[in-house]
Amino acid sequence: MADLPPPFVGQRHVVEYFARLGPERLSQAYLLHGPRGTGKLTFARMLAWTLNCERPTSFPLGFCGVCGPCVRGLNGSSGDILEIDVEFIQATASTERKTDKLGMDQVRAIIERMQLKSFEGGRPICIIPGFDTITTEFVPNVLLKQIEEPGPQKLFLLTVEREDAVLPTIRSRCTSIRFDRLTESDITRQLTAYYGIADEQATTFARRSLGSLGDALAEREGATSDIREAARSWVLACLTRPDRLPEMVDFGKDAPREVLDETLRQARITARDVMVRSISGDDALFDIAQRERYARAQSAMGESATVRTAKALGFIDEAILMAHDTYAAPATIYGWLQVQLRSLAAS
């Protein structure tokens, strides 16, 4: 028997929408879009498990967790649920070269698999996480016909952070469902009730997560602590001594793009917290544990603290847009941001 995951949190409008539809009136494809860590992939999996459950208690998240299809689904071995993860991508690659990118080999495998009849008498479902990160245009174009007409009872669930990053031809074939940022209280309750985190620490994680349960859990596991500390120190140094900037954060040329995202996210939190502290004190800080460092940074900047941090936030936001909207290398984005931060010396 598989371990049951924690219950789905938040996104009441999504749950209520699917509950009104019921399992018999679903579209053939859904585009689940919204910020990372807000439950898109979790919902897609639970919906798939429920659709194939032998004894669902409700819809869309009422899978029983103990029948054969549920156990196999929870263990990742369902014959009717295909999730396009790294293991699938590497298993279907025609060469021995390791890759985590969706290419023509994987597209052919998806089409072949989704054209087969159900293995278990259930509903064939294909889940493709991070569909907006596909960098080769032919992949969505080749999948277009399959997504448009997958066949009776077959379903595609695509998850993306930004809906507008998906080709219009794909968007027009899917029903778009928005996932909002989670509330701090939702995240705090989930962390304390199901992950054994003490109230104060859970509150800190929830504040810092900016509405992302996934980011809060990553902090709990320490998966991003080194990245956050390096980015925090770098930004504080940039703010306090823009005329003598430190070296850029460097995690190696082969670091995944997620490292860039986390670095810029922490940079924004740091600049925001120093600005907020200069205006209204410690009460609204995201990084409560860093208040002494923020106080020193504010003191070093003196009367220019608010203006300097506000300008820094603008530059960081531009760098985040650059990271999302272009294929610029992380080093290029860091370099651009450092040049902009150097101008703060005149603030």
Per-residue pLDDT tens over the stretch 303-313: 888 988 999 99
What the block records as the tokens of 128 is: 């493709």
Q: What does the pLDDT average to over 181-200?
A: 90
For residue 335, what pLDDT band results from cuts at 50, 70 and 90?
confident
Looking at per-residue pLDDT, the higher value among 223 and 241 belongs to: 241
> 155-172 in b/e burial notation, b at 16+ Cβ within 10 A?
bbbbbbbebeebbeebbe
CA torsion sign, 329 to 335 to 341 to 346?
Answer: negative
Average pLDDT value for the chain: 85
Cβ 19 vs Cβ 59: under 8 Å: yes
Q: pTM to 2 decimals?
A: 0.76
Structure tokens at 293: 């460092």
| pLDDT tens per residue, range 56-115 | 999 999 999 999 999 999 998 888 999 988 787 777 777 665 666 777 788 888 888 888
pLDDT exceeds 90 at position 48: yes
pLDDT for the residue numbered 217: 85
The better pLDDT of the pair 249, 170 is held by 170
Return the top range by mean pLDDT from 44-53, 80-89, 241-250, 255-264. 44-53
